[in-house]
Structure 1
Amino acid sequence: MIRRGIVWRLLLLAYFAFTIICEAKLVQVIEICRHGDRSPLNTYPNDPKPYHLWPGGPGQLTAQGMRAHFELGRRLRQRYIDSGFLLENLSVDEVMVLSSDTDRTLMSAYCQMAGFYPYETGPFVTDEDGTVLTPALPFFWQPIPIHSDVRNNDTMIKVGANCPRHEQILEQLRESQDWLAKRNESWLLLQRVANITGLEHCDLDDLGRILDVWICDQSHDIQVPQLDEELFHQVENVTAWVYQRSYESKEVQKLLAGLLLEDIISHILSRVSQKSLLKFIVYSGHDTTIASLLSCWQAFDGFNPPYNSTIILELHLNDSVDVSENLNNYYVHLEYNNATIRLPVCDDPCPLTAFIHYLNEFALNDSQRKKLCVWRETLSYSKWMQWLPSTQLVYFLPLVIIGIVIFISSRYLYNRFIRKLRRTNVEESEGPLLVSNSS
């Protein structure tokens, strides 16, 4: 009976959640996506296809990546334009696209928008007599403005850039006992990977860079000698552990995702307060962009977000009102690669008030981030505690105690005997000189 009651309650909650979504009115969509398939960023001595042999060079969007983002744009058009949420043709008041200043993210954004606003949706011009309409560009192509901010070093979308403190935290992770234990546990795997790749040395963080090359090879049917499915998954699992540890602290989550979350909150509040007409906002970023957001939402499993990974944030207004500046009338629905994200503080859909309150724990403005990103020179307590066992101080501690005892004893003996003897010698040597000769 108890189990049956729990089941009915869960079904009832799901029904209410579904009812809210169905009765709510969509007012804004925010998309955060990773670029598409690209050429490798790294190589190794035994690489069957070094990155300089790839078309365009390292880190460039491939034809597969272009096509995948075009198809993503077509699917999003069906969901948000064909449904009537957005206008058939581009309105810059409704749509804004932002990207990190990297070739592959810019090109991914352009390709996605080509699917979102395909041929025959672009502007047209009329002949001089005003009777014949002709396309402004071939095939009525609609150009889409893509915004990137180089002046701020891309810190909002290309997370982790220009942040010494984040680099320091990663260094501390590599010196931690957990890292050393995982390295020892994975010693045979690291040796095997080193033999396959031809590297003289392979550490845990090298696995992620090697795995990236293998993923690129797999997507383009490039065979890697001695690499089997079991080894691939072993490297993938250890890399997931490294990524999980790299993103797990709240400080790292704030440093990486803080600016982007601040910007997202700003757009939502501007839309609610009717200060903005933007209804569809796109951030074209990287795997780190996706992973940092998922980590803040406790939805990151450590496995690197695949190409074209997409987070969708939908802002809904309760259908009982047409327009409202009251945050209590709004709800947020989150998706990651078509799966619903449930935050720790609320179910789906999440009340906007709870959503913003939760995000404010991580959001940072530019000045706040700059202060937090400063390298900390002082030895932190956590690093001190990590250092103690690694130096085998347990064996050194008796010598320290003996040294302290000897020091205290020597000071006592010095004050008790040597100093007194010196004082007596001084009095005996200087005494006669103080006596007057006339006496």
Structure 2
Amino acid sequence: MYTLGKRLRQDYSHFLSESYIEDEVYVRSSDTVRCKASAQLVLAGLFPPVGHQIWNPDLPWQPIPISYVPRQEDNLLSLEKPCHALGEALKRFLSSDQMTNHTIVHEKLYKYLSLHTGQDINDVFLVHKLYDTLKIEKHHNLELPPWTKHLPWDTMYEIAALKLFIYTIATDTQKFSGGVLLKDIIDKFSDRSINGSSLKLIIYSAHDSTLVPALQSLGFGKIFIPDYGAHLAFELHKINETHEIRVLFAENFNSSLTLLPLSFCPSPCTLSKFEEQLRSREILPTDWDRECLN
């Protein structure tokens, strides 16, 4: 993630101030240790101290504040704030014929996982959690249990990836997941374009379950599990007195950002059209708390 911060510094050096300026940077993290640590690493690579900010010549680092709220109260970066409407929509989908058939097809795998883990592995959420754990252990060259040698890893991947897409599989759930983040970005861009906000950079440090719903809400239909450090970048450009938005995506912290085509808003996509199109598709919440009660 430190490497990602250095890459962002290189990519946006023409726009960002050389030194960290509080009014120009806002960082919001999910209230988890790994997300806050990731944000700190990105900031360390992005804003090494320069000039009067160098307080220790042996340490090219400076403290930069990170904002967060408890996960049970966070509907922006975490999907753990209670939402009745989202919960009911998920129940309907999980009990649908599609998911019932999915469970039947993978019943043998679920039984195998349950037998060897000692847990009742019977849905995509638990498969995702197990897959994620094994993936991390494998990434760190830890020895996996012998029973994992017989796992159908491709099938495990597909089931685990499906868990990330459940939150946006229907339009009426997108406003409670990916739509919340998109609305926050639009609001901050609007403040910049209308009121001349001094903000130049907003960083959100969150989860694959934050990134995937945002991508889905933008029309990115591929079902996948994001790699470590995968990230979206939203750019606001002022061209001939018109504010345009560009969306870019990088597959991991080592990848370069590439333009993400928006089928609903071909380039040049103005900020107003971007918001208008997302609202017409009912992806942006108007009053999240009230709509969650319905």
Take 2:62 and 2:126, find their aligned partners in 1: how far apart are those partners?
Answer: 43
Take 2:212 and 2:66, find their aligned partners in 1: how far apart are those partners?
Answer: 23
Take 2:167 and 2:104, find their aligned partners in 1: how far apart are those partners?
Answer: 18
Deviations 1:36-84 (A, max 9, x none): xxxxxxxxxxxxxxxxxxxxxxxxxxxxxxxxx1110000000112xx2
Q: Establish whether residue 370 from structure 1 lines up as the match of residue 294 from structure 2.
A: no
Q: Establish whether residue 238 from structure 1 lines up as the match of residue 159 from structure 2.
A: yes
Take 2:125 and 2:30, find their aligned partners in 1: how far apart are those partners?
Answer: 24
Take 1:245 and 1:259, find their aligned partners in 2: how far apart are those partners?
Answer: 16
RMSD over aligned Cα, in angstroms? Answer: 2.3
Take 1:272 and 1:71, find their aligned partners in 2: how far apart are those partners?
Answer: 31
Change (3 A) 1:122 1:307: farther
Take 2:150 and 2:24, find their aligned partners in 1: how far apart are those partners?
Answer: 46
Match among 73, 78, 102 for residue 153 of structure 1 = 73
Match among 302, 311, 314 for residue 232 of structure 2 = 311
The answer as to whether partners of 1:333 and 1:350 remain within 8 angstroms in 2 is yes
Q: Establish whether residue 113 from structure 1 lines up as the match of residue 43 from structure 2.
A: yes
Aligned length: 284
The answer as to whether partners of 1:316 and 1:331 remain within 8 angstroms in 2 is yes
Alignment of 1:137-286 (within 5 A): 137-138=56-57, 139=59, 141-150=61-70, 153-224=73-144, 225-228=146-149, 231-286=152-207
Change (3 A) 1:152 1:137: farther
Take 1:342 and 1:92, find their aligned partners in 2: how far apart are those partners?
Answer: 32
| TM-score normalised by L of structure 2 | 0.87
How far apart are residue 246 of structure 1 and its match? 3.9
Alignment of 1:3-82 (within 5 A): 69-81=1-13
Which entry has the higher C-alpha Rg, 1 or 2?
1
Q: Establish whether residue 332 from structure 1 lines up as the match of residue 245 from structure 2.
A: yes
Change (3 A) 1:181 1:75: same
Take 1:161 and 1:302, find their aligned partners in 2: how far apart are those partners?
Answer: 25
Take 1:180 and 1:111, find their aligned partners in 2: how far apart are those partners?
Answer: 42
Take 1:151 and 1:200, find their aligned partners in 2: how far apart are those partners?
Answer: 26
Take 1:246 and 1:264, find their aligned partners in 2: how far apart are those partners?
Answer: 19
Structure 1 segments of 4+ aligned residues over 4 angstroms from their partners:
none
| TM-score normalised by L of structure 1 | 0.60
How far apart are residue 330 of structure 1 and its match? 2.4
How far apart are residue 156 of structure 1 and its match? 1.4
| SS across alignment from 2:204 | strand
The answer as to whether partners of 2:265 and 2:277 remain within 8 angstroms in 1 is no
Which segments of 5 or more consecutive residues in structure 2 lack a partner in the other structure? 251-256
| SS across alignment from 1:212 | helix
Take 1:243 and 1:152, find their aligned partners in 2: how far apart are those partners?
Answer: 19
| SS across alignment from 1:96 | strand
Take 1:263 and 1:100, find their aligned partners in 2: how far apart are those partners?
Answer: 15
Q: Establish whether residue 351 from structure 1 lines up as the match of residue 270 from structure 2.
A: yes
The answer as to whether partners of 1:163 and 1:373 remain within 8 angstroms in 2 is yes
How far apart are residue 192 of structure 1 and its match? 2.7
Which segments of 5 or more consecutive residues in structure 1 lack a partner in the other structure? 1-68, 125-134, 377-439
The answer as to whether partners of 2:175 and 2:284 remain within 8 angstroms in 1 is yes
User: Letter of the aligned partner of 1:99 in structure 2?
Assistant: S
The answer as to whether partners of 2:167 and 2:177 remain within 8 angstroms in 1 is no
| SS across alignment from 1:273 | helix
Deviations 1:253-273 (A, max 9, x none): 101133322221111111112
